[in-house]
Amino acid sequence: MRYALSSQEMKVIDRNTSEVFGIDTGILMERASLEVVREIESWKQKRNAQRQYRVLVLSGVGNNGGDGVCIGRILKTRGYRVTQCIIGDPTKATDLLLKQLKISEKYGVPTETFLSVRETKNGYDYDIIVDAMFGIGLTRPLLGDALEAVNYVNRCKKEMGTDLLLVSVDMPSGVSADTGQVMEAAVRADVTVTFNQVKIGQVLYPGCEYCGELKIADAGITDESFLGKEPLIEYYDGDALFLLPERRKDSNKGTNGKVLIVAGSKDISGACILASSACLKAGAGMVMIFTAAENAEAVKTLLPEAILSTYEDFEPVKDKLLEAQKWSTQAVIGPGIGTEGKGKELLTVMLDSYDKSLVMDADAINIIANDPELMRLTQNYATGQKELILTPHMGEFSRLMNRPVRECKEHLLEYPKELAEKLHGTVLCKDARSIVADSNQKKIYINVSGNDGMATAGSGDVLSGILGAFILPGTSGYEAAIAGAYIHGRAGDKAGEKTGRYSLVATDIVAALSEILI
C-alpha cells in the first residue's frame, strides 16, 4: 500500500524532518529543486536540441516559490536562459523564499513582473515553464495575478503543444491538495514532480487529470518522519495478485469458496450471468445461481460451470433459499433482483437468516434505502465472523445517506466512513475514484485502477461477483473490497487496451480477469 497525504499531514512530516531529525529546510529545498531539474534535463535530452533553452519560472510567495527560485538558479548555472517572476504579495514572502531570491540575484537570474511577462511574451518565447506558485498550500479560489498567471501558462501550453514543457512543483497551482478540486482555475501540467509522498488531490478527480505525469521524487523526507502516526488515506498501484492470499496447492473446489449468487429476475437474466461468470473467473471454486426460473435456459447455455437453483414467481422462496444458504460459504445478493415483489422477499430471507459473509449490490441497496425494517436488519447483520460489503454507486450512495449526490461527492472521503460505521460493515462507494471504508478500520482506501469505459451496463454486476469470490471465510471485508475494486479496475484497464474505452462492455472485463490474475 501507498499513502496519500493531506496538506497538513505533509507539512507535519516536513517539519518533523527538520525539527526532530535536524535536516535543514534549505537542504530539503535544494534536494527537491534538483529533482525537478532532473526531470527538465531528461526532457531536454530526449529532444536532442543543441540551442540554449528558454525557461520561465513562476513562483509564489511561500516555500513552494522558494523551490521555484532555486530551480531557476540551478537551471541558469546549467546553461538555460531563465526568467523568473514572483506572483503574490511580496510582504508575505517566507524567509526561505527571500533567502533563495538573494542567492538567485547573485547568480544573475533576471526577475520580471508578471505584468511585463503577460504583455510582452507569449507561448513561443519559452521552451519550459515551471509552475511553483502554490504547491500544497492553496486553500481558497484563485484571484488577481494568480488567476491570470494560471490562465496565461495554460494559453502558452495550448499555443505550443509538445514544444513546451509545463512542469508543476509538488502540485499544479489551482488544485487543492486535499480534495483534488479546482479552485477557480488550475495549471494543466505535463509533469508534476511531488516530493516523497503522493497527495490526496493527486489521486482524486479532477486533480489527477491536471497533474499530467506524476513523478514521486526523493527530497529526503522519509517514513520515519511520521513518528509512528501513519496517514489515514491509502491506495495501491502494484501487482494485482499481491492483494490476494496465496492459493494452497492442495486446495479443491470446496475450499476455494462455494458462492451463492442471488441475482436476476423473470425479466432480467444478464445480471446473474455477469456476476457469476466474474465470480468463477476471480477464483471461486463453485458458484450457485439462485434466480427466477425464466433464466434457467440462458444460464445453462452461457454458464454451464454454475450450479442452478430456480424459483417460480408464484411460489415462496424461503425454503429453497435456506437450502442454498446451507450449501454456500459466502454470498452475493442484489444484481437484477428488482426492488419489489420477489426482490424484497429474497433480501428479507437473506438478511434474516444467512449466517455467513455477504455482498450487497444494486437492487438490494435500493431496497434497504427505502425500507426501515430491512435497513435495521442490515445494520445488525455483520456480527461474529460475518462480514458485510455494500457496493453503492453514487446515486445509490446518495439514497443511503439521504443527501444530494453533489454533497456526497464533496465529502467523498468522509461520508463512506460515516455510512460504514452506521451499517457496521464495509462500504465500497463506486465512482471515478472508488472509496473503501470500513467500520473497523481507521484508514480509507482510494482505488486508482479503472477507466471511464467501465461506466457501462453490467460493470457493477461484475464487481459484485469478484467480491463474492474474495470474501472467503476469515477474510476481512476491507481487504476483500480493496482487492475487488483494484482487480476489477485493472481488468477494465486491460480490456480497454484491447477494445478501446468507447467499445468496452462488461463481458470484456470478465474476460480480462484471466490476464490480470496470473
Q: Where are the domains of the chain?
A: 2-235, 256-516
CA dist 387 and 477 (Å) reads: 6
All residues at 6 or more sequence positions from 498 whose CB lies less than 8 Å from its CB, including other chains: 508, 512
Q: What is the pLDDT of residue 243?
A: 94
pLDDT in tens, 1-59: 999 999 999 999 999 999 999 999 999 999 999 999 999 999 999 998 888 999 999 99
Q: What is the per-residue pLDDT for 12?
A: 97
Q: For 256-516, CATH number? A: 3.40.1190.20
Q: Which residue has the cell 442454498?
A: 324
pLDDT of residue 249: 83
CA distance linking residue 143 with residue 135, whole number of Å: 16
Give the pLDDT confidence score for residue 250 in this predicted structure: 82
Sheet holding 330-333, edge to edge: 198-199, 2-5, 233-235, 444-446, 435-438, 426-429, 388-390, 358-360, 330-333, 258-262, 286-292, 307-311
SS (H, E, C) 313-381: CCCCCHHHHHHHHHHCCEEEECCCCCCCCHHHHHHHHHHHHCCCCEEECCHHHHHHHCCHHHHHHHHCC
- Give 95's contacts (C-beta < 8 A, 6+ positions apart): none
Q: DSSP letter for 180, please.
A: -
Grid cell for residue 502: 468507447
* Phi and psi based region of residue 243 (left: phi greater than 0; alpha: psi -120 to 50; beta: remaining): alpha
Choose which CATH entry (3.10.150.10, 3.30.70.870, 3.90.1150.10, 3.40.50.10260) describes domain 2-235.
Answer: 3.40.50.10260
pLDDT of residue 174: 98
Q: In the prediction, which pLDDT does 137 show?
A: 87
* 136 grid coordinates: 500544497
Give the pLDDT confidence of 473-498 residue by residue, as tens digits.
999 999 999 999 999 999 999 999 99
Contacts of residue 484, Cβ cutoff 8 Å, sequence gap at least 6: 428, 463, 466, 467, 470
Per-run averaged pLDDT (10 residues), the chain, 518 residues: 97 96 96 98 90 96 97 97 94 95 96 87 87 94 95 95 97 97 97 98 97 97 96 96 87 91 96 98 98 97 97 95 98 96 96 98 98 97 95 98 96 97 98 97 97 98 98 97 98 97 98 95
Residues in CB range of 61: below 8 A, 6 or more apart: 86, 87, 88, 89, 90, 92, 93, 94, 97
Backbone angles phi, psi at 167, to 5 degrees: -115, 130
Q: In the chain, what is the straight-line distance between the N-terminal and C-terminal CA atoms, in Å? A: 20
Cα 462 to Cα 109, 129, 189, 485, 508: the distances in Å are 58, 44, 35, 11, 10
